Homo-oligomer: A and B are copies of this chain.
Amino acid sequence: MTSRPSVEPFAASGIGAFDHECGVLVVGFGCAGAAAAFEAARSGADVVVLERASGPGGTSAQSGGELYLGGGTEIQKACGFDDDPGAMYAYLEAALGPNADTAKLRLYCDGSVEHFEWFRERGVPFNPTFYDAPTWMPMSEDGLMWLGENAWPYNTISRPVPRGHRPAAGGFGGGVLMERLSAAATAAGAVTHTDTLATNLVLDATGRVTGAVARKYGNTVTYRARRAVILTTGGFVDNDEMLADHAPLLLGHGKVSDGLDDGSGIRMATAIGAATRRMSVVEIALTALPAMVCRGMLVDGLGRRFLNEDVYPGHWSVHAVKHQPGPYWTIIDEEGFEDVPEPDRWGLRPKHVTETLAELEESLGMPAGSLESTVETYNRHAANGEDPYFHKDPKWLRPLKPPFAAIDPRAGFFGGGTGSATGAAGFTLGGLHTTVDGEVLNHSGVPVPGLYAAGRAASGMHGEGYVSGTSLGDGTFFGRRAGRHAGTAAIR
């Protein structure tokens, strides 16, 4: 109801001569846009990519660069792991569920080895070495890591095999990834128009999408797309009004984005009757450090554990922010803290150190006896190598003993990067409802002629869950499919 720029469509008949014309117009140059542009150009279409920033990359370039890939890649084999698409599917169906998109997931798993090779052919480097400990991101150049496959209950659902593939970059690999993918799209013939923000779709008299209107340096620029428009504009974590309407869990937390994920593509498309799905689903990462959490316990504001601490850290993060009363604390003892390798401490020191749990719970503002009761129960079972509540791996179970310490996750890994006051930051997973070929569907379940979407502008293979590497993974995989489909669509 506040005044804001219109996202309603333009009629092609009202535009007359377009400023630019191409076969396929890709809107947004993150990983999905790069993959779509590459394949559309390879299919023989002439491709223009619009990017509102001054260069390619988007949120993808600022990510860790993990790619969830498997089914038997060369890196998995080199590290001694035997994988197959069925085991990969079983894990992802559980970890990305409930309500994962099984059709997309099946294609993704069956095509994963080929997709890995596609990255290698584009020059993305992967080292055949394995990092074997709980972490958000190793500060090494190891090319393979666990992403929750080895933790309960997932290790009972599918044979555990690590599938986190990492570009060799020493830390955040998204930059290297996007450098190679954008160069590949350009080499394939895609032309990029930077500083160009698409604002509205263009429709012909039959309701077909035939182009887009954009703003460049304050001027209106029109693009005619003879085959199709592909929206790869990202999610909507940077649009607080959309968050309040569709994904309020993220309000007030940090934003994992390049600052431009304002849902522009989703809004342009829904304005012409496109359907969305899973708009409330989000990923959120708490900044607690996995190496400390797994050696101690993660508790809520009432001093209670709530998940096995050796699970993929995104899982305990989402569980905490979604379901538990905050604040959250990592509780660890001296022996556990000393056991954490120095690089995995990220410079953190405990602020609360006490000889008794009664002192610790009091200093954290928890009810009297709450943390005492939690640790007493934990210790009793840990002494038997058991965790009947949450099934943490016995390798991390040991009765905790004084002195104890509490560590505030707000001081952790991401906290420094994003300045999130809550110690949590996230992004959206819902978006336009698409077919496996990226065609955007209307509310009757029929493709909107001429319109495609991929990446976080679309709802991908995720149900209500997430693990690292599946957003870059499905963005590129279904971006490629959309590019191939749109690149060979009939010319109008």
Give the size of the chain A interface in residues (CB under 8 angstroms).
Answer: 53
Residues on B with beta carbons closer than 8 Å to the beta carbon of A247: 280
Question: A246: which of B8, B244, B280 is its contact (CB, 8 Å)?
Answer: B280
| Contacting pair B368 A267 (CB below 8 A) | no
Say whether A105 faces chain B, with CB atoms less than 8 Å apart: no
Q: Does A233 contact B (CB under 8 A)?
A: no
Please tell me which one of the listed residues B244, B251, B273, B278 contacts residue A273 in the complex, with CB atoms under 8 A apart.
B273
Q: Mark A266-297, 1 if CB is under 8 A from B, else 0.
A: 01001111011111100000000000000000
For A101, the closest partner residue in chain B by CB is: B244
Q: Which residues of B contact A376 (CB under 8 A)?
A: 373
Copies of this protein chain in the complex: 2
Write the A363-398 contact mask toward B (1 if CB under 8 angstroms, else 0).
Answer: 000011110010011001100000011000000000
| A278 neighbours in B (Cβ, 8 Å) | 245-246
- Return chain B residues, CB-CB under 8 Å to A7: 443-444
Q: Are B8 and A99 in contact (CB under 8 A)?
A: no
Interface residues of A in 218-268 (CB under 8 A from B): 244-248, 251, 267
Give every chain B residue within 8 A of A380 (Cβ-Cβ).
Answer: 369
A440 vs chain B, min Cβ distance (A): 12
**Closest approach, in angstroms, between the C-beta of A463 and any C-beta of chain B?**
8
When distances are taken between beta carbons in the complex, the residues of chain B under 8 Å from A8 are 273, 442-444, 446
| Per-position binary interface string of chain A over residues 109-122, scored 1 when its CB falls under 8 Å from any chain B CB and 0 otherwise | 00000000000000
Who on chain B is nearest to A276 by CB?
B245
Extra pairs beyond A1-B445, A245-B276 (11, CB < 8 Å): A6-B446, A7-B444, A98-B248, A270-B270, A270-B275, A270-B443, A272-B273, A279-B279, A323-B324, A367-B381, A373-B377
